[in-house]
């Protein structure tokens, strides 16, 4: 019987010839990532002292202050300072601050390496699966053990195969693929399973779009979301200077616990409605919902291609009166590239406010909270009650194009309504 990508990576990480779904294995961790919100300040600093006060390998530890940057209160500033000081004390040189959401920073800095185990104190660490790594979120207690010994135990997950064939229509993006998949499988349908995305549509996507899909695998309960390492992956890795890695692919006779097949040519822009990511419908079905805030950003929908698409739609247009649009690029390099390309200027001229790269808006910590009775259309990854501010507010998730279109009209809008007849549009 053949093996899946997950089985092959975990066999290598555990020093075994092969492993199978359901086994418990003790694995070597390639990279351990902590952020400011669930990092050293949460139990780890105190307990590590009790365990000997030593990090197993500072070179393999990455710390990113992203949720509380820029700090909006004295408490947030103190947490960031604590995180910064802790990294310095323990010799962790891979410390990043004001750099952007941790998952994007991890990828850009070459800390997500194909064929390795990458674990982080944030559930969307699974985004790293777009680069062929077994990347997953862990709790602070698990991270404490990893910091002490560089290993942890994992159950080898079963794998769900998700196949996308066909061709995406104009106005449809990877975020729509992600939402459609989640809506079909359900918020708990992939609990502690690997989800492997494949097919001609996935192969044709640029890395920006691929990351938007694997980022949200956890919204189905998945342990990890994976994509094959192909020429697109290799070109991205070469660009950021990653050269030494192993490539794994699932065997033709590998065992998958479930298979889902989708036709991309039938896909329309999707929206996840309050208060669950799997509460998905066609954007046109919620057209009457008024919007008070449009958010373009986060580790899910703030990459360069996302900003480019939104700018292309908004060029020469104005956002709806009384509506605010916030834009937070997913990293400092993306902010700079979007600025140099003129995308941020286009968005600003349309009426958008350009923010620093941060997790603050997405998780409702600062920079753009919503009030009771307000509706936000967001390119981020969660729409839980109170996620972005008031528990009486509502969050709708859509693609960057759906966010941009809704910002123009003032209500949730299928972006194709604005793109029809536009001779300059290039998807």
- Whether the upstream peptide bond of residue 416 has omega within 30° of 0, thus cis, is no
Q: What is the DSSP letter of 352?
A: P
**Segment 161-216, tens digit of pLDDT:** 999 999 999 999 999 999 999 999 999 999 999 999 999 999 999 999 999 999 99
Within this chain, domains 5-262 and 270-419 share the same CATH topology: yes
Tokens of 343: 């995308």
For domain 270-419, the CATH class is alpha beta
Rounded Cα–Cα distance for residues 108 and 347 (Å): 24
| Span 413-427, average pLDDT | 77
Task: Tell me which residue of 280, 208, 196 sits closest to 239, measured CA to CA.
Answer: 208
Rounded Cα–Cα distance for residues 267 and 405 (Å): 18
- String of DSSP letters for 384-401: -TTTTB-TT-EEEE--HH
Residue 425 has pLDDT above 60, yes or no: no
> Does CATH place domain 5-262 in 3.30.499.10?
yes
Residue 233 has pLDDT above 70, yes or no: yes
Tokens of 350: 């349309």
**Segment 251-262, tens digit of pLDDT:** 999 999 999 999
CA dihedral 286, 290, 292, 295 (to 10 degrees): 20
- State residue 422's pLDDT score: 62
**Segment 300-347, tens digit of pLDDT:** 999 999 999 999 999 999 999 999 999 999 999 999 999 999 999 999
Query: Helix (H) and strand (E) counts for the chain?
Result: 15, 18
Average pLDDT of the chain is 96
| Span 223-233, average pLDDT | 97
Residue 98 has pLDDT above 80, yes or no: yes
Rounded Cα–Cα distance for residues 292 and 385 (Å): 17
What's the pLDDT band for 52 if we cut at 50, 70, 90? Answer: confident
Q: Where are the domains of the chain?
A: 5-262, 270-419
Rounded Cα–Cα distance for residues 151 and 45 (Å): 18
């Amino acid at each position: 019987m053949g093996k899946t990508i997950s089985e092959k990576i975990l066999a290598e990480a555990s020093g075994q010839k092969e492993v199978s779904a359901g086994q418990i294995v003790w694995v070597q961790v390639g990279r351990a990532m902590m952020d400011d919100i669930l990092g050293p300040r949460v139990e780890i600093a105190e307990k590590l002292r009790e365990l000997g006060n030593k990090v197993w390998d500072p070179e393999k530890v990455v710390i990113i202050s992203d949720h509380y940057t820029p700090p909006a209160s004295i408490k947030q500033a103190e947490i960031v300072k604590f995180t910064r000081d802790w990294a310095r004390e323990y010799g962790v040189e891979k410390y990043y601050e004001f750099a952007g959401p941790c998952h994007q920073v991890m990828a850009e800095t070459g800390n997500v390496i194909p064929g390795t185990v990458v674990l982080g104190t944030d559930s969307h660490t699974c985004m790293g699966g777009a680069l062929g790594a077994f990347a997953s979120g862990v709790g602070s207690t698990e991270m404490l053990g990893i910091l002490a010994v560089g290993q942890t135990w994992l159950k080898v997950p079963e794998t769900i195969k998700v196949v996308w064939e066909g061709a995406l229509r104009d106005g449809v993006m990877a975020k729509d693929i992600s939402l459609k998949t989640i809506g079909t499988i359900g918020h708990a349908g992939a609990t502690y399973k690997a989800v492997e995305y494949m097919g001609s549509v996935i192969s044709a996507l640029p890395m920006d779009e691929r990351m938007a899909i694997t980022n949200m695998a956890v919204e189905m309960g998945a342990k990890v979301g994976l994509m094959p390492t192909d020429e697109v992956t290799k070109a991205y890795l070469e660009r950021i200077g990653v050269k030494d890695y192993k490539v794994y692919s699932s065997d033709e006779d590998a065992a998958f616990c479930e298979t889902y097949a989708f036709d991309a040519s039938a896909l329309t822009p999707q929206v996840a409605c309050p208060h669950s990511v799997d509460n998905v419908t066609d954007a046109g079905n919620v057209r009457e919902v008024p919007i008070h805030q449009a958010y373009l950003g986060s580790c899910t929908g703030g990459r360069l291609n996302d900003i480019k698409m939104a700018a292309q739609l908004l060029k020469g247009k104005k956002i709806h009166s009384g509506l605010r649009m916030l834009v937070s690029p997913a990293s400092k390099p993306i902010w700079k590239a979007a600025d140099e390309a003129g995308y941020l200027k286009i968005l600003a001229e349309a009426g958008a406010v350009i923010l620093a790269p941060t997790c603050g808006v997405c998780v409702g910590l600062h920079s753009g909270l919503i009030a009771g009775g307000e509706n936000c259309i967001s390119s981020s990854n969660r729409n839980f009650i109170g996620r972005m501010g008031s528990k009486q507010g509502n969050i709708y998730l859509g693609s960057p194009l759906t966010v941009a279109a809704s910002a123009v009209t003032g209500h949730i809008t299928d972006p194709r309504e604005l793109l029809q007849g536009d001779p300059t549009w290039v998807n």
